Amino acid sequence: MEHIIAADLPNLEQGYRRNLINSITGFKSVSLVGTINRSGITNLAVFSQIFHLGADPALIGVLVRPQTTPRHTLMNMEETGYFTINHIRQDFLYQAHHTSARWDHSEFHACRLTPWYSKGMKAPYVAEANIRIGLQLAETQTLAINKTVLVIGAIEEIWVPENCLGADGFVDLEEAGSLTCSGLDSYHSTKKVARLTYAKPANIPRLLKPQLSTEV
Amino acid sequence: MEHIIAADLPNLEQGYRRNLINSITGFKSVSLVGTINRSGITNLAVFSQIFHLGADPALIGVLVRPQTTPRHTLMNMEETGYFTINHIRQDFLYQAHHTSARWDHSEFHACRLTPWYSKGMKAPYVAEANIRIGLQLAETQTLAINKTVLVIGAIEEIWVPENCLGADGFVDLEEAGSLTCSGLDSYHSTKKVARLTYAKPANIPRLLKPQLSTEV
């Protein structure tokens, strides 16, 4: 095994350290966050630090790194109060990755992705995405320890393909083609290993019975 | 497409809503967090909300949900100041999932997983895990919006199999067998789609040249 200790980290080349620390935490979600400013200019940016914060109220957290993430996203969120999360699929992966270049105009146009608006949401969705979430900005917090900004959004609406929503509310991300990512630049598709039953001491976990109907 | 709006959410059955909101954010990392209390009793718990917070200093965030996560982990972190993150692999998936039952003794023993201690870390690692991170508790913050606790850990050491660490610091999680998860109970293996070059406006993203040597 390779063994790297805290005292080694400052001596590592900066890019090496960034790759190491960004990949060591495990696989991540990977989405395009869509926003629009007051003048109507749209923006798209790749985010991999998006996570569930609560089901009731339904809240999602997004980490915005001070140095590495385009700040347009945060500015637009604060200007208009809305943003969208659009899962990246393999079909438009290269275009999605290309949004992270420093564009001086909208990444939709620059990267040939299609803005799509729903009635209830001011911020643009990505039409190419199968899974789309529209959110209202609830609050932002700057973490004192390193100035990372934690954005908290309240879910306003969810769009999911009919064949990806189970009778128990589970969203089949694999069926939807959502990718996962690792580190700064690695994208992966997934293959289901198992859904397991709720764990109790007396019961060894078993495969959960599939629930495929799509009633809400 | 299924369309679910915020006003629908309170009317959904609680389990349905929990599955929906937990799975909609995308794929997640999935690890066992290892801790020990002052009396020497060890604890293991599955966490899927673990993320990169910064590379310099090297910080990792862990979300602890007030209602759903065993509080022993947080208590032990605060008692001893240390914890470990151990990526879950398919080989011990059922045992790992079983740790989330309400055990009244150590999950290591209950679920037949092997504690392993390194010289520099008080908290136990999982010997069966390929990728292991040892951390010192840096701070905890309770989010006012819903009492979720954000635990911030400073990386003390990293253990990675030699064949999984690239010349550029990238950790090949797929080679290490690390799984990803979605929702509350679904586990997935991954298949690499692409590592892409750093995005610039003038350059369409390309496949990154593989870097397979393992020098630190």
Query: B54-75 burial, b for 16+ CB within 10 Å, e for fewer?
Result: bbeebbbbbbbbeeebbebbbe
Q: Which of A26, A199, A205 sits opposite B87 (nearest CB)?
A: A26
The 10s digit of each residue's pLDDT in B132-177 is 999 999 999 999 899 999 999 999 999 999 999 999 999 999 999 9
pLDDT (0 to 100) of residue B71: 81
pLDDT (0 to 100) of residue A55: 85
Cβ A63–B54 below 8 Å, yes or no? no
Q: Which of B94, B145, B196 sits opposite A185 (nearest CB)?
A: B196
Cβ B1–A199 below 8 Å, yes or no? no
pLDDT (0 to 100) of residue B216: 40
CA distance B39 to chain A (A): 23
Cα separation of B155 and B54, whole Å?
10
Q: State both tokens at A1.
A: 């095994």
Cα separation of A215 and B2, whole Å?
9
Segment A119-135 mean pLDDT: 97
pLDDT (0 to 100) of residue B70: 58
pLDDT (0 to 100) of residue A160: 98
Cβ B156–A58 below 8 Å, yes or no? no
**Which long-range contacts (C-beta less than 8 Å, at least 24 apart) are formed by A50-54?**
A50/A85, A50/B25, A50/B26, A51/B25, A51/B28, A51/B49, A51/B51, A51/B63, A52/B21, A52/B22, A52/B24, A52/B25, A52/B49, A53/A152, A53/B63, A53/B143, A53/B145, A53/B146, A53/B148, A54/B21, A54/B65, A54/B145, A54/B146, A54/B148
> Which residue stretches of chain B have pLDDT < 70?
67-70, 210-216
* CA dihedral sign of residues B54, B146, A62, A20: positive
Q: pTM to 2 decimals?
A: 0.95
CA distance B154 to chain A (A): 9
Looking at B106-209, which runs of residues are DSSP E strands? 115-116, 125-126, 132-142, 149-160, 180-182, 186-195
Cβ A17–B169 below 8 Å, yes or no? yes
- In this structure, which topology does domain B26-188 adopt according to CATH? Pnp Oxidase; Chain A (2.30.110)
Percent of chain A whose predicted confidence (pLDDT) is above 70: 95
Q: Which amino acid is at B41?
A: I
pLDDT (0 to 100) of residue A120: 85
What's chain A's average pLDDT?
93
Are A173 and A88 spatial neighbours (Cβ–Cβ below 8 Å)? no
- Which residue in A13, A23, A187, A214 has the most chain B C-beta atoms within 10 A of its own C-beta, making it the best mutation to test that interface? A23
B53 neighbourhood in chain A, CB within 8 Å: 63, 143, 145-146, 148
The 10s digit of each residue's pLDDT in A29-64 is 999 999 999 999 999 999 999 999 988 889 999 999
CA distance B41 to chain A (A): 18
Q: Which of A15, A139, A203 sits opposite B169 (nearest CB)?
A: A15
Using CA coordinates, name the residue in chain A closest to B146: A54
User: For residues A51, A53, A58 and A61, what is the CA-based torsion angle, rounded to 10 degrees?
Assistant: -50
Q: Where are chain A's structural domains?
A: 26-163+172-186
Q: Which of A2, A56, A178 sits opposite B216 (nearest CB)?
A: A2
pLDDT (0 to 100) of residue B174: 97
Q: How far is CA B150 from CA A140, B19, B28, B209, in A?
A: 14, 22, 16, 37
In chain B, alpha helices (H): 14-24, 71-80, 93-98, 107-110, 173-176
Segment A139-152 mean pLDDT: 93
Are B83 and B73 spatial neighbours (Cβ–Cβ below 8 Å)? yes
B155 neighbourhood in chain A, CB within 8 Å: 6, 9, 21, 24
Cβ A199–B143 below 8 Å, yes or no? no
User: Looking at this predicted complex, what is its ipTM?
Assistant: 0.95
Cβ A171–B179 below 8 Å, yes or no? no
A187 CB-contact burial (10 Å; exposed 0-12 / middle 13-18 / buried 19+): buried
For residue A156, pLDDT over 50 is answered with yes
pLDDT (0 to 100) of residue B21: 96
Cβ A171–B183 below 8 Å, yes or no? yes
Cβ B19–A170 below 8 Å, yes or no? yes
Q: State both tokens at B188.
A: 């997935």
Q: Tell me: cis bond preceding A57? Omega within 30 of 0 counts.
A: yes
Q: Identify the CATH number of the domain defined by range A26-163+172-186.
A: 2.30.110.10
